[in-house]
């Protein structure tokens, strides 16, 4: 990419390696899924299985996020919003995480406000944000997560709630600093928040931009992540 | 749960591991009927033989192969896939395929690898639900009845207003197919005022362009690209508008941006090559044409003009220094390919020989002269009409190769065939001052215009006489011949006689030699079907 060949564009090197890593991981995941289907029942649902499934999903989510951040950095993140059925979108997310949820014994539920069955957003981008939030919720949940979609002041809100201990107060207090990238963006939580905020704000309608909000509480009492899409 | 055992599936992927893994997921869901293919060509063949309910197609089937987007376009354009069937594009990385996609043909869903059985089942289930909801629309689409599509959209929207946005696009496309320009424009503007939507921007730009409202079309595309700078289809639209506004320089820049995003697009690369040639940017022209030729091998947009353009660009790039060794190899290859592929096309045979001759003019004048003579003799026995553009470049090459007389002949016949187009006449004037060519058609064109006026005012017999007079002066002029044919066939209150029908058929036989790329070809086909029976 650089004009002279004096050095490597390190972020591009990382991005292309992550891209290949993601493909490798994808093959491993598919092969593992197939292999474990063939196991006898008693060997299938072990604690190790839970770890493997969880970390597969976690790794995949981090790589998607890394590639997304790279593209965001070089201004190449495509945005392609469309109308989507909210129950379809949420069910697809939960189906994709089904093995992890099962092996961790977490029950997942969802509800969609009947008055707003459709949302207008980029499915891939918002999907990658929601996937990361779900992975995070699964890590801390005791036994349940709940996803809901409703309308608030003409905006679509996607809420992801768990019954874990909740986000650390310090994180909630300084969330705007993470969102703006002021706090050193290190660790997956801060990075995830930064990525989510960037994706949210690419969704714009008549001057209103999307945003994210962290809180504790909700019906399950634990961490409560909200994504606002105008 | 769906009754999967009744449904047929086609899995297309170049990795056998992936095919077998998806096949076993489908088996677990109760699917019995699964076929697989590892190339796009095989997928098309399979769909031609059997109606599939579901196609799971990997986007990237390897370099130099048809990709999923191309297969989808082929399936839809050749009507090999029902609108009720589900097409899922499987991608390794989520954004890549979407950047490549054309706005016109989008898959029903994207599915990112890796996916699990539960994820696949959920997508299938939901897509079937959606197709069931939209069934009346999809059936009308399969039947090719836009009026019915429109009615179905209205009905669905009335039944449940919450799902109205799902009908937007079908409604817009039906209005487009029905040429209901004003309602379509108003509808698209309402959608865009509410939310910036990529396809609606594309559709509005296209509509304004079609209606020659170029300034507004440009504005729409420029606004669209501010919000969606990653969608190459919008760049294509803007480039078309800029070309129509005679801003070839900017059109080239815009397409350069688009190929940076998405180089795999035959039409885009060839148009870029053509614009770069006009802008005398021979480096870019040869680069773009090279891409277009290579990609075109597997595309439905394969076009002999691309090969000829590539050869021409290489010659121009070499300039006075002549061709280097690599360019010569490329030139010979591309000309050999196109001559072989178009064995029966006399025009292509003439043009390949002339380009080859031009390339040899310095290094091997004897061979060049021999090829030029061969081209001239083929030209003399040719019935087919060259397009105006091709005729002009053939004329220039002939003159350049010392075949002045033949060059003048080509210009003369070009002036006869296309003389009613002032743009063509201007370009002819760049090559000759001969009043016999430049002025020869004035009287005929005048009669033709009077004829058109008479026809519009319902004076059909008079119109026929005027067209007849015009055609007697310029027997090969496409517009005049079509006008006479139409004037004879469609004259209200003046039923066509046996002699009239013969005269009409004779007109159509003559202009039947026009190139298929001509804008009037469709009109010709309609008249021919009418005059000769479909």
Instruction: Please write the tens of the pLDDT for every residue from B1-49.
Output: 567 888 999 999 998 888 988 999 999 899 999 999 999 999 999 999 9
Q: Directed axis angle between helix B232-244 and helix B266-278, to 10°? A: 30
| Distance, CA of B534 to CA of B532 (rounded, Å) | 7
Q: Are strands A223-229 and B8-12 parallel, antiparallel or unpaired?
A: unpaired
- Using 50, 70 and 90 to split pLDDT, how confident is the model at B231? confident
Phi, psi (degrees; rounded to nearest 5) at A122: -85, 115
Q: Do B197 and A33 touch (CB under 8 A)?
A: no
Q: Stretch B349-363: mean pLDDT, rounded?
A: 93
Paired strand residues for A155? A152
Q: Using alpha carbons, list the distances in angstroms from residue A35 to A38, B15, B174, B331.
A: 5, 18, 49, 53
> ipTM score of the complex?
0.82
Q: Directed axis angle between helix B248-261 and helix B282-296, to 10°? A: 50
Better-predicted residue by pLDDT, B213 or B70:
B213
Closest residue, chain A, to B28 (C-alpha): A37
| Distance, CA of B314 to CA of B306 (rounded, Å) | 12
Q: Give the E-state strand segments of A96-222 in sequence order.
A: 107-112, 118-121, 144-152, 155-162, 204-205, 208-209, 211-216
Q: Do A34 and B165 touch (CB under 8 A)?
A: no
Indicate the burial class of B333 (C-beta count within 10 angstroms; 0-12, 13-18, 19 or more).
middle
How far away is chain B from the Cα of A61, in angstroms, using its nearest Cα?
11
pLDDT at residue A134, rounded to an integer: 94
Preceding amide of A150 cis, omega within 30: no
Q: Do B126 and A124 touch (CB under 8 A)?
A: no
First-to-last alpha carbon distance for chain B, in angstroms, is 48
pLDDT at residue B143, rounded to an integer: 93
Q: Which residues contact A170 (CB under 8 A, 6 or more apart)?
A: none
Place of tokens 């891939």: A124
Asked whether the beta carbons of B463 and B455 are under 8 A apart, the reply is yes
Phi, psi (degrees; rounded to nearest 5) at B324: -80, 175
Better-predicted residue by pLDDT, B194 or A190:
B194
Long-range contacts of A106-109 (CB under 8 A, 24+ apart): A106/A138, A106/A141, A106/A143, A106/A144, A106/A145, A107/A143, A107/A144, A107/A145, A108/A144, A108/A145, A108/A146, A108/A147, A109/A144, A109/A145, A109/A146, A109/A147
| Distance, CA of B25 to CA of B355 (rounded, Å) | 56
Paired strand residues for A146? A109, A161
How far away is chain A from the Cα of B207, in angstroms, using its nearest Cα?
21
Residues 187-216 of B with CB under 8 A from A: 194-198
How far away is chain B from the Cα of A66, in angstroms, using its nearest Cα?
12
For B90, other C-beta atoms within 10 Å of its C-beta total 24
Indicate if the pLDDT at residue B349 is higher than 60.
yes
pLDDT at residue B485, rounded to an integer: 94
Of A206, A203, A200, nearest to A225 by C-alpha is A200
A81 touches chain B (CB under 8 A): yes
Q: Do B230 and A79 touch (CB under 8 A)?
A: yes
Asked whether the beta carbons of A230 and A155 are under 8 A apart, the reply is yes
Q: Which residues contact B163 (CB under 8 A, 6 or more apart)?
A: A117, A118, B133, B156, B157
pLDDT at residue B100, rounded to an integer: 63
Q: Using alpha carbons, list the distances in angstroms from residue B121 to A41, A83, A88, B118, B179.
A: 22, 21, 12, 5, 40
Per-residue pLDDT tens digits of chain A, which is 230 residues long: 444 555 778 888 888 888 888 888 988 988 888 888 788 888 877 888 888 889 998 898 888 888 888 888 887 788 889 999 999 999 999 999 998 898 888 999 999 998 888 999 999 899 999 999 999 999 999 999 999 999 998 899 999 999 999 998 888 888 887 777 766 555 667 788 888 999 999 999 988 999 999 999 999 999 999 999 99
Q: Do A124 and B166 touch (CB under 8 A)?
A: no
């Amino acid at each position: 990419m650089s004009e002279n060949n004096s050095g490597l564009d390190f972020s591009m090197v990382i991005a292309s390696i992550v891209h290949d890593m993601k493909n490798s991981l994808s093959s491993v995941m598919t092969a593992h899924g197939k292999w474990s289907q063939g196991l006898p029942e008693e060997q299938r649902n072990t604690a190790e299985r839970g770890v493997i499934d969880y970390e597969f999903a976690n790794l995949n989510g981090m790589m998607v996020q890394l590639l997304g951040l790279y593209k965001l950095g070089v201004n190449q993140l495509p945005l392609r919003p469309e109308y989507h059925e909210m129950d379809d979108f949420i069910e697809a997310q939960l189906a994709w995480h089904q093995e992890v949820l099962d092996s961790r014994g977490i029950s997942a539920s969802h509800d969609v406000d009947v008055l707003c069955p459709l949302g207008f957003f980029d499915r891939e981008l918002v999907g990658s944000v929601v996937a990361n939030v779900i992975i995070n919720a699964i890590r801390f949940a005791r036994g349940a997560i709940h996803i809901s979609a409703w309308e608030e002041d003409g905006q679509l809100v996607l809420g992801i709630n768990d019954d874990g201990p909740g986000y650390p107060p310090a994180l909630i207090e300084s969330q705007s600093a993470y969102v703006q990238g002021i706090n050193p963006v290190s660790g997956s939580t801060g990075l995830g928040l930064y990525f989510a905020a960037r994706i949210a704000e690419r969704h714009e309608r008549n001057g209103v931009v999307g945003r994210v909000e962290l809180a504790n509480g909700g019906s399950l009492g634990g961490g409560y992540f909200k994504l606002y899409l105008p | 749960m769906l009754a999967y055992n009744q449904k047929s599936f086609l899995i297309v992927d170049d990795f056998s591991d992936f095919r077998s893994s998806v096949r076993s997921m489908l088996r677990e869901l109760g699917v019995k009927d699964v076929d697989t293919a590892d190339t796009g060509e095989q997928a098309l063949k399979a769909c031609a033989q059997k109606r599939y309910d579901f196609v799971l197609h990997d986007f990237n089937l390897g370099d130099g192969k048809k990709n999923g987007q191309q297969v989808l376009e082929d399936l839809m354009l050749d009507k090999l896939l029902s609108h009720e069937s589900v097409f899922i594009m499987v991608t390794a990385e989520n954004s890549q395929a979407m950047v490549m996609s054309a706005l016109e043909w989008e898959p029903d869903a994207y599915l990112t690898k890796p996916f699990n059985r539960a994820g696949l089942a959920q997508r299938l289930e939901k897509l079937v639900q959606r197709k069931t909801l939209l069934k009346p629309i999809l059936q009308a689409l399969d039947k090719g009845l836009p009026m019915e599509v429109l009615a179905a959209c209205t009905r669905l929207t009335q039944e449940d207003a919450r799902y109205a946005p799902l009908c937007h696009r079908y409604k817009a496309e039906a209005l487009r197919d029905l040429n209901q320009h004003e309602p379509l424009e108003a509808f698209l503007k309402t959608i865009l005022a509410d939310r910036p939507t990529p396809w609606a921007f594309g559709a509005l730009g296209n509509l304004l362009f079609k209606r020659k409202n170029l300034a507004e079309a440009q504005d729409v595309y420029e606004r669209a690209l501010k919000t969606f700078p990653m969608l190459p289809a919008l760049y294509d639209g803007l480039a078309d508008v800029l070309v129509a506004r005679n801003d070839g320089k900017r059109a080239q820049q815009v397409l350069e941006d688009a190929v940076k995003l998405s180089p795999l697009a035959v039409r885009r690369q060839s148009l870029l090559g053509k614009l770069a040639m006009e802008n005398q940017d021979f480096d870019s022209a040869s680069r773009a044409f090279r891409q277009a030729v290579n990609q075109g091998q597997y595309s439905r947009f394969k076009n002999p003009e691309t090969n000829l353009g590539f050869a021409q660009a290489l010659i121009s790039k070499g300039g006075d220094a002549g061709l280097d060794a690599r360019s010569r190899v490329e030139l010979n290859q591309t000309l050999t390919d196109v001559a072989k592929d178009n064995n029966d096309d006399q025009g292509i045979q003439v043009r390949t020989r002339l380009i080859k001759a031009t390339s040899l003019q310095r290094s091997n004048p004897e061979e060049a002269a021999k090829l030029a003579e061969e081209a001239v003799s083929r030209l003399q026995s040719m019935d087919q009409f060259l397009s105006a553009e091709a005729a002009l470049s053939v004329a220039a090459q002939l003159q350049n190769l010392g075949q002045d007389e033949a060059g003048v002949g080509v210009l003369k016949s070009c002036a006869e065939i296309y003389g009613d187009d002032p743009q063509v006449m201007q370009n002819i004037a760049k090559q000759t001052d001969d009043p016999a060519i430049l002025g020869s058609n004035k009287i005929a064109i005048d009669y033709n215009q009077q004829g058109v006026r008479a026809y519009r005012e319902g004076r059909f017999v008079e119109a026929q006489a005027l067209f007849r007079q015009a055609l007697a002066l310029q027997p090969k002029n496409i517009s005049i011949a079509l006008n006479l044919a139409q004037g004879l066939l469609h004259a209200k209150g003046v039923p066509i006689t046996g002699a009239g029908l013969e005269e009409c058929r004779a007109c159509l036989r003559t202009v039947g030699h026009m190139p298929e790329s001509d804008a009037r070809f469709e009109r010709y086909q309609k008249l021919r079907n009418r005059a000769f029976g479909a």
